[in-house]
Amino acid sequence: MSRSLSRVAGVIGELLVAAGVLVALFVVWQFWWTDVESDRAQAASVSSLSAQFATVSEPADDTAPVGHPADATAIVRIPRLGADWARPLVEGTTADDLARGLGHYVGTAEPGSIGNFAVAGHRTTYGKPLADIDRLRDGDRIVVETVKGWTVYAVSSHSIVLPSQGEVIAPVPGDVSRAAKPTEAVMTLTACHPRYSAKQRYIVHAELVETRPRASGAPSLDVAVTSAAGVS
DSSP assignment of 134-175: GG--TTBEEEEE-SSEEEEEEEEEEEEE-TT-GGGGSSBTTB
Active site residue 68: no
Active-site choice (68, 104, 122, 193): 122
pTM score of the predicted model? 0.80
Domain membership flag for residue 56? yes
Q: Per the residue annotation, which of 104, 192, 193, 205 is the catalytic one?
A: 192
Across the range 145-161, mean pLDDT stands at 97
Residue 32, in any domain of the structure? no
Whether 158 is covered by a domain: the verdict is yes
pLDDT band with cut points at 50, 70 and 90 for residue 148: very high
Q: Please, which pLDDT band fits residue 26 given cuts at 50, 70 and 90? A: very low
Range of the domain at 105: 38-216
- The one-letter code for the residue type at 175 is D
pLDDT number for residue 151: 98
User: What span, in angstroms and rounded, lies between the C-alpha atoms of 46 and 168?
Assistant: 28
The count of structural domains within the chain is 1
8 Å CB contact between 127 and 192: no
